[in-house]
Amino acid sequence: MKLKYIFGLVLAALMAVGCSDDNTVDPLASIAIDQTFVSIPVEGGDATITITAQGDWAFDKVISAGKDADGKAIFTELPAWLTADKISGSAGQTTVTFHADATEAGREAELRIATGTDRQFIIVRQGSLDASEATCADVIAAPDGKTFRVTGTVANILNTQYGNWDLEDETGTIRIYGTNDKEGKKGNNPIDGADGWGFEVGDVVTVEGPKSTYGTTVELVDVTVISVKKSLLKVVTPEQTVGIEGGDIDVKLAYKGSGAYAALPADCDWITITGEDYVAGKATLFEPNPADTAIVHLRIAPNASNGRKAAIDFSSSNASTTSTITWTLTQNAFTLPHGESADDPFTIEEAIAKCIEIGSTSDGVIYYARGYISSIKEVSTSYGNATFNISDDGSNDNALTVYRSKWLENASFTAENQIGVGDEVIIRGKLVNFTRDNVNYTPEFSGDVFVVSHKAAGPGSRLRPFTADEATDFIMNNLEVGQSTDDEYYIAGEIVRIDSPEKNLFNAQYGNASFYIADDEDPANTQFYVYRTFYLGNRKWVEGDTQIQVGDKVVVCAKLTKYKDSKTGDIIPETVQKATYLYSLNGKKQ
């Protein structure tokens, strides 16, 4: 910032030398301004400059609008908070009036004025850019643009090249997005580089920078580090994830306080501290005050339910301070075998195979299967149940009988038209290979049977996929900007353009592919964007898989979204990343 002001003073000095008393502009400087810095009060108001030019001029860039990930300046138009009564003019003298409404935060823009190939610069500031002492909660509640000085503990380091990390105190957590190194440079490994600050998780750091909000993340951007206070404690063991079977693990700590201690959350009765061991550090000529070592022994109980996490606090103290580091232990969720949950149901082919394996007497296990109704024998409103067949493709070949099933949530059927041929359903119940006189075997759901989910056949179903045009209309007419569907839909079309590294391949880094599809009869006007789709079988693309190319016929299964491009403002109907896969490629399914 200081260099910027020095530059402005140099320009002002040059203009004073280059302009004669009659206000003519020196031939070497085709544009001049009477001020290189103007200020608008924080309560709002105006500021005026005079531009003297030999030809047409215009504000063409704002050069203090931030920097990208590579440290390059981002150029935009005038910032939203600042207006000017003129943004261009012709030869001669022109008065320009800037205006800004009241603000709670100090803010600044550096503007560039151009005529031909010559440039002049002016800084417009509103309010003060001095930092305010604040907590994380204060920063979260404050407006964007205000500069803060915050002290907190390094909770998590996300990126060392640019210095992205999380700072927390007793009031909350904020993201630090960009850290200057000791030389004031950006993107220069400010944490662990040659001119880095050398802080680690657990250290107490004071930083200063302006607030910004990215989505729901509150950030201080391109901060200056004021001080680093090394922690008395370091957790040597990385954060752990344990299996459902549980077991014993050790957590190793290095500490310089009078001991190291672990505190379990009150609701974590599935973790027990079984003991601690201590090893004193050995002093050397180079390290007269070495860290001691503590090993905390934890016992984790088996898990028969959902995944769970524990935030365990480790601390060490001396006479003047206490250092605390929160260390996360995760235990995997217990998952039912394939076919025993609605989230992972059998195909009908798999369910029939299970029926044959079980035989004519139920094994008592509750199973789930997904299929399409191929025929309906009866819907009884008197008894509140229905008997029908389901298959993988909606045909009566290789069908499974659903015998006297209840409706959704085990309620009674109340109308015959609640189900129809072609509807997609997930069924829950016991499986048997039913037999009469040991002759006729019928694979079926029989016992404790009801419909778990139901999707009526129609546009967007597997038997009747959307066209590209129908998918676009559905999204535009039924979703708000930024909203996504909860259900999956099928979209069929022909690939007309591929958005992948080599234009005919998947993206090897992410194992997915992006492309545009269109309806056969009108490929020019009905393009629909398929974003980052996985391969057949809903898995990542790998070498050896069939590559896509323009002209391929595809059916995609996906959740849908109405996406807004943050740069252009365009509304784009498309599929949801990580919720999209190829159901078929040129007729091939998997």
What one-character-per-residue DSSP string does 500-532 give?
Answer: STTSSS-BTTTTBEEEEEE-TT-TTT--EEEEE
Copy the structure tokens of residue 386.
């229905």
Phi-psi region of 326 (alpha: psi -120 to 50; beta: other; left: phi over 0): beta
Q: Is 290 buried (19+), middle (13-18) or exposed (0-12) by CB count in 10 A?
A: middle
Copy the structure tokens of residue 391.
């298959």
Enumerate the CATH 2.60.40.10 domain ranges in the chain, comma separated. Answer: 2-126
Q: At which residue do the structure tokens 């190829």 appear?
A: 582
Is CATH 2.60.120.10 correct for 237-331?
Answer: no
Nearest to 49 by CA among 93, 10, 101: 93
What one-character-per-residue DSSP string does 237-287 give?
Answer: SPPEEE-TT-EEEEEEEEE-SS--EEE--TT-TTEEEEEEEEE-----SS-
The architecture in CATH of the region 132-229 reads Beta Barrel (2.40)
> Strand order of the sheet with strand 367-380?
431-436, 440-445, 400-405, 385-391, 367-380, 424-429, 450-455
Superfamily of domain 348-455: Nucleic acid-binding proteins (2.40.50.140)
What one-character-per-residue DSSP string does 434-492 give?
Answer: EEETTTEEEEEE-SS-EEEEEE-SSTTSSSSPBPHHHHHHHHHHH--TT-B-SS-EEEE
Nearest to 105 by CA among 66, 138, 60: 138
Q: Return per-residue pLDDT of the chain as tens, 590 residues.
A: 333 333 333 334 434 433 444 444 344 368 899 988 999 998 999 999 999 999 999 988 766 555 666 666 666 678 888 989 998 999 999 999 999 998 877 788 889 898 988 888 899 988 877 778 899 999 999 888 888 999 999 999 999 999 999 999 999 999 999 999 999 999 999 999 999 999 988 899 999 998 989 988 999 999 999 999 999 998 999 999 999 999 999 999 999 888 899 999 998 999 999 999 998 887 666 666 678 999 999 999 999 988 999 999 999 998 888 888 899 999 999 988 999 999 999 999 999 999 999 999 999 999 999 999 999 999 999 999 999 999 998 888 899 999 999 999 999 999 999 999 999 999 999 999 998 666 678 999 998 999 999 988 889 988 889 999 999 999 999 999 999 999 899 999 999 999 877 777 788 888 999 999 998 755 566 799 999 999 999 999 998 899 899 999 999 999 999 999 888 889 999 999 989 999 999 999 87
CATH class assigned to 468-589: mainly beta
Enumerate the CATH 2.60.40.2020 domain ranges in the chain, comma separated. Answer: 237-331
Enumerate the CATH 2.40.50.200 domain ranges in the chain, comma separated. Answer: 132-229
The architecture in CATH of the region 2-126 reads Sandwich (2.60)
